[in-house]
Amino acid sequence: MKLSKTEKLCNTSGIPKSLLPDYQRLLSSTPSRRMKSSKLLENSEYFHNKLVETIQFMEILNLKDSVEKDTFFRKLPLFRFNFISQEMGNT
């Protein structure tokens, strides 16, 4: 997606409601009040959920020992993928 005008940053229709307050802080016109994007990624609950944890684990799967892999794959069927559409669809 290309941003052609800075005014388009004010259009929040595509931003999940849970991220909206932090998004607005990212755009603060006062630099001292502006949130750092790294802080958002570290602290936002939106980026810390079962889906993200699962993807992160799978990215380093080759570094895990057999016990960790076995535990992960045993729990994986319990993971409810229907929450993905609920979480990602809350815009």
Query: Are 44 and 16 within 8 A, CB to CB?
Result: no
Domain shared by 62 and 73, yes or no? yes
Q: What is the rounded distance in angstroms from the CA atom of residue 50 to the CA atom of residue 30?
A: 35
Domain shared by 54 and 84, yes or no? yes
Q: Domain range for residue 28?
A: 16-46
Spell 42-56 as b/e; 16+ CB within 10 A means b.
eeeebeeeeeeeeee
Q: What is the rounded distance in angstroms from the CA atom of residue 23 to the CA atom of residue 28?
A: 9
Question: Per the domain annotation, does 8 fall within a domain?
Answer: no
pLDDT tens by residue, the chain, 91 residues: 677 788 888 888 888 888 899 999 998 989 999 999 999 888 888 888 888 888 999 999 999 999 999 999 998 877 766 555 555 555 4
Domain shared by 41 and 61, yes or no? no
Domain shared by 38 and 64, yes or no? no
State how many domains the chain has.
2
- Model confidence, pTM: 0.55
